[in-house]
Structure 1
């Protein structure tokens, strides 16, 4: 008795059961074979070609999920060959197989979107700190695939056309707009941020109302993550970056210079004219020699123009210690290797206040790195603070308890 004769001698429901078992076994074998071929043959071809589109389309995760589409296709193709299968069971199994096919195709396309994102972020010319993120578009694509896949799967399971479900969704558009309000706002904001190049991964931004002050580490569909300087993470809804203001420091980073804007408050009681002895002493400072020589030449030219014995203007005849110090600071900054000479550089005197005469330094360092910037700024002001006594100047400082005590002791009081 042959196997076929034995099989035909069985009852119809046993034949149907054995036929289904054989079909499922065949589906499993074909999947294993397809997965082996895809994961062992295609990667070799991909490495040999070494092109971007091959790395994306033939990504390992894409191939692995593509292999999982095969079993449901085998079931769809072979379900008609199962003998004595009840029509209702036939329709149910076929619909389930189609639904699984759609599900695996959606998962395969999701893996393809992940591969595109991974390839975009791993490019040398598109490093995370210098490129626009496409993560929001990838997430939106996944959401659209999930919605379409869910509609098709439900339509297949209930054995109805997807157009019927889509027409029902049209009537529910108002509810859908309310449910996906944040998604729509975030996507619109993400498109505007990307198209106008307003935000990139790696940008340093400040948004005090959200407690954000640090580098952007992730731009997604619904949220933007900022790693603050204390290593905490602030999550900002994407749409708020379009509806509210924030400061982006990328322009400073790309310019190559970082601003120094700080004041030295000079005690107005120490401001005075320089004597000839003071000028002779200060001429020994190399950075001041050209300035003082120019002033002497200006006095000589004024004398020659006005004649001997004529009154020379006071601003030419006598120099002040604070004006000479300002000239020194200007020359010092122009000679400093850490100061950017191609950007605005000036030393200006502001309006005197009750806290002294503000002397403001306005310049840019030749680096934007925070540590080097603070080091350069510290060196500049260390030097200037130590040099103030050479010009008989001192900083304004509110009286402390020690100052009052010293004054009382000088008066002979306890």
Structure 2
């Protein structure tokens, strides 16, 4: 029986017997063996890859979980199948390059580096599989899993690069790391954005600031829409006009933005809008005015009860009502405020379990703001806008029945209709 070392020289001996010089015989022997090894490894890798993939495919068809489907989709079986040929090549190369020590060392180093890269590919495929699988779980699908995987892969690639450099330069890893410490300032400068993104990703995740699917508004970056991706460097937001805005991850902790998740999770969406009432249209109500307003059904009972209380107070205190300002009185803006409040509390689209209020704000140069503060039961944007418009359509039309006027800047038509002096 021949040993492997003897087999590697069979072709060399045959060539020498044919009259080829020893040096050329050695080169031809090595070249032919290298070609044969490459062909054999390619064929072996091809059939092994097909075998592993077919076995995985059959297993996934019988399995009830979708985890193995993600393994196949992310090419985990394909990458694993490459490991065996690399091991065979590593153990066979010394016999192929027998007598060429420098070339043998160089090729072995290349195989070791390729082995490191292949290992990183396998790990990356496994991590991508975990990422896809976690996104199918209800408790994890809105978490920034991409950021965690990117951080871990950066760490692994850093180790892989250091190991590769250590193998190629024959410098021990700890000595290489010691020398690398002197260049740490340059490294920190180069990877500044990556480090900022890494820290920001951790803070965003720990503080639960943003999740995938959240609606955020970020004025500094012109973003207003749903978060579709969170990774180490960027956060992608799909705006409501279907454009995509990319925001640096660290901007989420350095700048101010609005997350609408609280509104989405709450039982209602806030309506907060004011009508500006002209001050000169506000007045005390005379008895004839009160009789007119009693015909407004929403506040009829309120006016009757309130008027009885006011009349009793004025009589008991001998108030001179020959002048309307004396004593207690109803005002048209007060009745309208009560009307708007009652209208909201009777509106079917308003959540009665949350705050419902119509309040008067501080006077402005334009007039008196009368603000509606309530929450719609339907939080969907289109329906919310419809509800709010429906409410203010009614209030804008109703305010004239209380002899009130809204502030409006004069238009060119107003000036045209002004009589000439």
TM-score normalised over the length of structure 1: 0.85
Q: Deviations over 1:93-138 (max 9, x none)?
A: 22222222111111121222222222223435544xxx12121221
The equivalent position to 1:9 in structure 2, one of 14, 19, 26, is 14
Aligned residues of 2:360 and 2:368 also touching (Cα < 8 A): yes
TM-score normalised over the length of structure 2: 0.84
The equivalent position to 1:18 in structure 2, one of 32, 39, 53, is 32
Return the alpha-carbon distance in structure 2 between the equivalents of residues 269 and 310 of structure 1.
26
In the TM superposition, what is the alpha-carbon distance from 1:393 to its structure 2 partner? 1.8
Return the alpha-carbon distance in structure 1 between the equivalents of residues 387 and 33 of structure 2.
82
In the TM superposition, what is the alpha-carbon distance from 1:158 to its structure 2 partner? 3.6
1:95 is the counterpart of 2:100: no
Where has structure 1 moved over 6 Å in runs of 4 or more?
309-317
1:331 is the counterpart of 2:342: yes
In the TM superposition, what is the alpha-carbon distance from 1:213 to its structure 2 partner? 3.5
In the TM superposition, what is the alpha-carbon distance from 1:384 to its structure 2 partner? 0.8
The number of residue pairs the alignment matches comes to 402
CA RMSD of aligned residues (A): 3.1
Secondary structure at 1:379's aligned position in 2? Answer: helix
**Counterparts in 2 of 1:9 and 1:333: CA distance versus 1, 3 Å:** same
Match of 2:257 in 1: 246
Q: Structure 1: 5+ residue runs without aligned partners?
A: none
Match of 1:66 in 2: 80
Q: How is 1:331-410 mapped onto 2 (pairs within 5 angstroms)? A: 331-408=342-419
Return the alpha-carbon distance in structure 1 between the equivalents of residues 156 and 253 of structure 2.
27
In the TM superposition, what is the alpha-carbon distance from 1:56 to its structure 2 partner? 5.3
The equivalent position to 2:128 in structure 1, one of 114, 124, 130, is 114
**Counterparts in 2 of 1:365 and 1:9: CA distance versus 1, 3 Å:** same
**Counterparts in 2 of 1:265 and 1:84: CA distance versus 1, 3 Å:** closer
Return the alpha-carbon distance in structure 2 between the equivalents of residues 263 and 184 of structure 1.
46
1:177 is the counterpart of 2:188: yes
Aligned residues of 1:15 and 1:83 also touching (Cα < 8 A): no
Secondary structure at 2:272's aligned position in 1? Answer: strand
1:288 is the counterpart of 2:260: no
Q: Deviations over 1:224-261 (max 9, x none)?
A: 23334444443332223222322222222222322222
Return the alpha-carbon distance in structure 1 between the equivalents of residues 154 and 170 of structure 2.
24
Secondary structure at 1:359's aligned position in 2? Answer: strand
